[in-house]
Amino acid sequence: MMLDIRDLSVVFTDRGAPFTAVDRFSLQMEEGEIVGIVGESGSGKSMTAHALMGLIRRSAVTVSGSAVFEGTDLLPLSRAELRQYQGRDLSIIFQEPMTSLNPTMRIGKQVEESLRIHEKLSRAERKARALDAMALAGLPDPEEVYRQYPHQLSGGMRQRVMIASALVLRPRLLIADEPTTALDVTIQAQILETLKDINRKEGTAILFISHDLGVVKALCSRVVVMKQGEIVESGPVDDVFYHPREDYTKLLIASRPKREKLRGGGDNE
């Protein structure tokens, strides 16, 4: 087993009464698997991912439970120990491609950054591997994009840059935190296709987080449904999609815009 999360809880103690954002979350993932987490905003799905990546380590947040990745529990690691995993074995892409890139740094440098941090390579080797990752992420004309700045790219392109920089060290696990939510429907489909390709070619396991059960169905083999920090339902994606046991899951399915509506030019999100 590649990843074994058991009873992961995230409790905020910032103001007044403690707030439990994630409550005893458990999930097992195998190499090369694509697993989805769905739920509405505030259900704790992103928080779970960020806790796993070590991105919410603050004194006012208590993260408990265990998250064993390749035999090592990530949660008790020190910041310095965890950094050895971040960007190398575990990578993440975020919901907001418009703001997740440094506006004053060239794309190439941002894509190479994990290489610079984790490996000793010459400038030329770094560039070659960055261009390679950019091609893998489906960026047209990587050489050109390498020299550009984020503001010169569209949202979809920026998300591909994020994917390239997450994949540059070929991590075992990619966490995709609502990667297509901020994008157009057509771009969304293309990005999903790219993620599928990467999974197939590189065997990268993907933990895919979305509020859209339809998108999860198109990509994942298994799905976990979250509500208010807790898992309400989980299983193979087709089972959950076609035979939901929980009312909440039914609601999530029903809230998807129908294909007919889309064609009719309805006001989907």
Partner 1 sequence: MGKTLLKRAGLLIGTLLLVSMLAFVAFSVIPGDPTDSILGIEATEEQRLALRAQLGLDQPIYQRYWSWLTAFVTGDFGQSYKYNMPVSGLVAAQAKVTLVLAAVSFVLIVVISLPLGLISARHQGGIVDRVVTVLTQVTMSVPNFIMGLGLMFLFALVLKWFEPKYIPLEDGLGAHLRFMVFPALAIALPKSAMTVKLLRGSILGEMGQDYIRTAYSKGNSQGSALWRHVLRNAMIPVVTFLAMAIGDIMAGSIVVEQVFTIPGLGRILISSIGNRDYPVVQAIVVLLAGVVVLCNFLADLLYRVMDPRIDGR
Is residue 99 involved in binding partner 1 (CB under 8 A)?
A: yes
Candidates 103-111, 121-129, 234-242, 249-257; binding stretch for partner 1 (CB under 8 A):
103-111
Residue with smaller CB distance to partner 1, 67 or 225? 67
Per CB under 8 A, which of residues 40..69 are in contact with partner 1?
53, 55
Encode 15-54: b = buried (16+ Cβ within 10 Å), e = exposed.
Answer: eeeeeebbbebebebeeebbbbbbbeeebbbbbbbbbbbb
Q: Alpha-carbon distance 219 to 59, whole Å?
A: 36
Instruction: Determine which residue in the list 165, 180, 210, 249 makes contact with partner 1, applying CB under 8 A.
Output: 165
Segment near partner 1 (CB under 8 A); pick from 35-43, 113-121, 185-193, 216-224: 113-121
Q: Is 71 a binder of partner 1 (CB under 8 A)?
A: no
The least distance separating partner 1 from the CB of residue 138, rounded to whole angstroms, comes to: 19
Closer to partner 1 by Cβ: residue 89 or 233: 89
Specify the residue, 80 or 124, whose C-beta has the smaller distance to partner 1: 80
Decide if residue 263 touches partner 1 (CB under 8 A).
Answer: no
d(CA 33, CA 23): 24
Residue from 23, 70, 113, 202 in contact with partner 1 (CB under 8 A): 113
Which residue stretch of 5-13, 67-75, 93-101, 132-140 sits at the interface with partner 1 (rule: CB under 8 A)?
93-101
Phi, psi of 232 (to 5 degrees): -100, -25
Torsion angle of alpha carbons 15, 21, 25, 30, nearest 10°?
Answer: -110
| Position among 78, 80, 186, 267 found at the interface with partner 1 (CB under 8 A) | 80
Between residues 153 and 252, which has the closer beta carbon with respect to partner 1? Answer: 153
Q: C-beta of 100: minimal distance to partner 1 in Å?
A: 5
Work out whether 117 is an interface residue with partner 1 (CB under 8 A): yes
Query: With contact defined as beta carbons under 8 Å apart, do 36 and 220 qualify?
Result: yes
* For partner 1, the closer CB: 50 or 217: 50
The stretch near partner 1 (CB under 8 A) out of 95-103, 121-129, 178-186, 261-269 is 95-103
Q: Which string of b and e fits 158-174 if b means at least 16 CB within 10 Å?
A: bbbbbbbbbbbbbbbbb
Among 58, 151, 200, 258, binds partner 1 (CB under 8 A): 151
The binding site for partner 1 (CB under 8 A) comprises 53, 55, 79-80, 83-88, 91-92, 94, 96, 99-105, 113-114, 117-118, 149, 151, 162, 165
